[in-house]
Amino acid sequence: MGERAIIVQKFGIQQTHRWWAWLLVLLVGAVVVVGTHYDAALYRDPIMRVTAVTQQKATKETDDFQNVDYQTGQTLHGVILNGRYRGNRLTVSNTYSASGAMDQRYRVGSQLFVVAHQHHGKFSATVKDRKRDTPLVFMIWLVVGLLLLILRFSGLMAFLSVAANGVLFFLAILLNGATQGAQVLWIFGSLSIGFAALTLWLVLGRTRQMLITLATTLGGTLLSIVVALTVFHLTHERGMFYESMQYVTQLPRPLFLAETLLGSLGAVMDESTDIISSLYALKRERPELTPRQIFKSGRQIGSTIMGPLINVLFFIFVADTFPMALLYLKNGNSWGYTFSMNMSMGVVQSLISGIGIVLAVPLASYLASRWLPKEVRA
């Protein structure tokens, strides 16, 4: 921790030069946003910039469920920005609906990926999708920039820990692909240990506090999975619809468990860190506390944060199903069927994570009451 304090102080000195930091962040932002706007040359697929649009008249469409929508055709004239066909002018057609669930309206200036066809020496193309890297990079810049400006060194650490976990996550997915998904639960199970150890090491350093937090995190997550498997066994997974999971390319059940495991890991880690660091602070102020009192305080702290944390995961898991659930309702399905086919798996995930989050409270309090050093140095 000593080393860290020095670095923090160093960053403190820079406070006087704050406007420099703001200017630098703004400049970097302008460079990346403008840069990605003109980065077509980096892509292999041909990109077309729309230079002129002719609109046709909208036609009214009514489906079997009396949903009314309007479809409009448009002819797009544009120029290819990159690759073999660079500079070629071409004309493509596009149809979009007012709701725009699967299609979209293009305007002058839009950059689109196109699939080029060479037919009898004539050059034509169809639109594939829009180029989206500029808004993506803009948002990444906004978050990272604000993170560094508001929280400085801690912001940098938070960013590094997310980036490091992202790299680990990517490697794990490659490994999963290499094994055809047969080992998904083992890969992501053992990876959770790596994730947790790495993150806590970055936040807390190699301390006893880190070990207690790590033990709680892994214990809580493992317990929740054990409870889940027991419940699955007892209820024969009634009301769980694996077929409703999206984008599944391998055996759904282990994949579902791996998703749940990862999802709850972060929240359990968040909670254990909070409880145990508060207990450390408490012990520092009042060294005379007995293990029993520490356990009680831990439970007290934990019970106030567990509810909001379960909520965080619930909204992440379930809000995502909004568009599909809406489509189900508009296609004449009942509320119950819509729930089963879209939200039931997310709710099961939230409940399992919730169980892990709640179980981590007594676990953290117990481990802290046993393993907290007699004297905590400031």
Partner 1 sequence: MSTITLLGLILLVLMVLVGGKAGAQSFLALILNFGLLFLAIVLVAFHFSPLIVTLVVGVMVLALTIFMSSGDDLSSTVAFIASAMVLVLLVLLIVPVEHWAMVQGFGPEDSEDLEGLSVLVGINFVQVTIATAILSTLGAIAEAAMAIAAGLSEILEQHPQVALKALYGDGIAVGKQIIGTTFNTLFFGFFGGFLALFIWFTGVHYSFGEILNDKIFVAEILMILFSMLSVLLTVPVTTWVMTRAVAGKRKRGAHEATK
CB 301 within 8 A of CB 333: no
Among 133, 183, 197, 201, binds partner 1 (CB under 8 A): 133
Instruction: Measure the CA–CA gap between 297 and 284, rounded to whole angstroms.
Output: 14
Cα 122 to the chain's mean position, in Å?
44
Which residue in this structure is represented by tokens 């997550």?
221
Among 53, 116, 245, 376, binds partner 1 (CB under 8 A): 245
* Region from 51-59, 114-122, 144-152, 368-376 binding partner 1, contact rule CB under 8 A: 144-152
* Region from 18-26, 81-89, 351-359, 368-376 binding partner 1, contact rule CB under 8 A: 351-359
**Residue 90: other Cβ atoms inside 10 A:** 17
Among 208, 323, 334, 370, binds partner 1 (CB under 8 A): 323
**What's the length of the chain?**
378
Instruction: Measure the CA–CA gap between 316 and 327, rounded to whole angstroms.
Output: 19
Considering only residues 50 through 89, tell me which ones interact with partner 1, judged by CB under 8 A. Answer: 61, 63-65, 67-69, 71
Nearest to 200 by CA among 184, 213, 182: 213
Closest CB 164 distance from partner 1, rounded Å: 11
Closer to partner 1 by CB, 314 or 371: give it. 314
Closest CB 233 distance from partner 1, rounded Å: 10
Closer to partner 1 by CB, 255 or 368: give it. 255
Cβ density class 191-200: b for 16+ within 10 Å, e for less: bbeebbeebb
Considering only residues 194 through 223, tell me which ones interact with partner 1, judged by CB under 8 A. Answer: 195, 199, 202-203
Among 27, 34, 140, 226, binds partner 1 (CB under 8 A): 140
The answer to whether 255 contacts partner 1 (rule: CB under 8 A) is yes
Closer to partner 1 by CB, 13 or 68: give it. 68
**Residue 214: other Cβ atoms inside 10 A:** 20
Closest CB 51 distance from partner 1, rounded Å: 19
* Region from 17-25, 51-59, 114-122, 239-247 binding partner 1, contact rule CB under 8 A: 239-247
Considering only residues 31 through 50, tell me which ones interact with partner 1, judged by CB under 8 A. Answer: 42-45
**Site mask, partner 1, residues 282-321, x = CB under 8 A?**
-----------------x--xxxxxxxxxxxxxxxxxxx-
Closest CB 77 distance from partner 1, rounded Å: 20
Closest CB 75 distance from partner 1, rounded Å: 19
End-to-end CA separation in angstroms for the chain: 11
Closer to partner 1 by CB, 32 or 320: give it. 320
The type of residue at 368 is A
Instruction: Measure the CA–CA gap between 335 and 325, rounded to whole angstroms.
Output: 9
Closer to partner 1 by CB, 123 or 169: give it. 169
Which helix (H) or strand (E) covers residue 245, if one does? none
Instruction: Measure the CA–CA gap between 325 and 212, rounded to whole angstroms.
Output: 42
The CB-side HSE value for 39 (13 A sphere, CA atoms) comes to 14
Structure token pair of residue 17: 């030069």
Closer to partner 1 by CB, 119 or 246: give it. 246
Closest CB 318 distance from partner 1, rounded Å: 6
Q: How many helices, marked H, and strands, marked E, lie in the chain?
A: 10, 6
Cα 148 to the chain's mean position, in Å?
20
